[in-house]
Structure 1
């Protein structure tokens, strides 16, 4: 249940022209545990873009708690040159969400919000999620639920790449086959799947004089010569969930052998290694084993200063992603913003960011055909508790091949030609400025939200109230319906109550002091009305209908709940209804 946010922190508003609200989930935007890569890097970039390029009256934060709001406001205050909005309200406030027009959820997990929306109406506002990983059992069931959950054409799951969109469509086709096998006819999901890429703030990668000095210092301290070539791998170093490092080691070693002593190559591995010291040691030992002729330098991903420096100390960016957990891949875009040519695997979103032989090289990748049965075996082991998520992702990665020879060739070509590196780097920067700058991407969000709003306003939705026994979720039935056969009898509004002969006024006072007896009192009448019920039933039996007429300011449900509560603790007794 949502925690209440103090009124002095939340800014109420009556405007109806806001473009959207942001689900203020700190973990999606702020590296509270120090891990800044992946979805948090993307989330932080988006939040900063909103602060920079949206009018502060265009959006609001929808938060669960005051602590979340303060954490987000602090993060937003750190964004240079931005003017963040102070508009905020409780995430469960459906009226405020309706006035906002849309709720942006910084993940693909939008299903809880689509059910909650029914408290108001299904056309109250649009829901907009965004893909991150869509490969695991945390994500795929949500994608399949698009068939049966109350999503509408004015809702959207933003796909960060065409590759991610096709993956979702493939999953939908697979699930539709299952439904047909079960004799279930299902329409296509109503939710839209627009493609809007992630972005970067180009000014954060500019080669300022200070950054150039720091880059030279980085190289000098490590004995990297002026004409030496530095390969940079940047991001989470995770063979299970990002990119297996050994193919990179092998390719770089092959390139160094071919180039000989005339051209020295160095490899910088910048990032964090999840999984503890054992896996980190294994990754480092593998570098010594498979790239013995290379100088390999390790940069801690939590060191902001060094992570900023390595972009400008490097000559070539390399990322051989081979993992289905990746759906876009932000680091090549960051590398291009730093003016680096890229050598990347021809994989997922990389296909759409790096232009082969223009901004770098895309290295061919291979997977087995589905007829091999390898994929279904891996999926079945994962689903049947034989493999965990890590082993599943590892398993798919181990049968995904990146062409090591072609990668070595691309590294050699770039290492041997400084002019080519500069031309490709300049083309890469131009491409980012044109296609992947947040300044260019935020208008795409604005256009999408406006389009969804138009669709919603044109809708002719009539069944705004749920028809599942009054409950917003059909998979959580009214407990009085689901468990209606548990009690001896049910109480309707014709049932009479009488005050117990053993009732003493002190009983009500004593009960009010017991938290375990008063935990859900918000669903009942006020104390004055409660005493009025007791006194009325003391004089003569009263039906609950009669008590409702006696207390017109209280809803029938509150009167019924109060009578049940008083009966629970022996203050009232139920009699048979009068005939």
Structure 2
């Protein structure tokens, strides 16, 4: 069953009809401009490509609560599993079989050719500068449209119920060791957790203002990693946290 939450293949979510042939699980990622250091290390040969994408993936989080709820529904409802499986097979045959894909491409090519024939010549619009290295763009600029939303300073954040224990597990995970340079230091993450424990929830901006100024951009991005490992819960501004 497709729990569509992959950041690395954001267009895949369009193949899933929520509640019909799968569940589309919300994701949150670091905002555009937050990955320049990751791209630069790759450009300079300091990180291989696998390390570059591995570190980038640390700052994309799946909504753990929504994912758990979807898995539980599937585990408890055999009819739902069967119905979604049947719908998925039907959609694959009707939409993604070559007999459907090739005519769709042919129709698209014909439509684009017709548009070009009737379109007036025009200059290409200037593109805003988004990176100092056009060959190694900030990954969160390149894929800004992939996650359900990106982290902003107006988002709300709270410490998860088992957040302190989850923090220890996150730093002990073998999947974390290779990315430590890109993550908040353990002491910084612990300090964030201590602050979060002082209130039911915080506005991200207000939380960061309690941390050293030179570390705020790094910790801002790091909040997504903490959400990824179940240490904190992130919600858009104005959405209740329960």
TM bucket normalised to smaller: 0.3 to 0.5
Of structures 1 and 2, the one scoring higher in RCO (CA 8 A, sep 6+) is 2
What TM-score comes out, normalization by structure 2 length? 0.43
State the structure with more CA Rg.
1
What TM-score comes out, normalization by structure 1 length? 0.19
Richer in helix (by share): 2
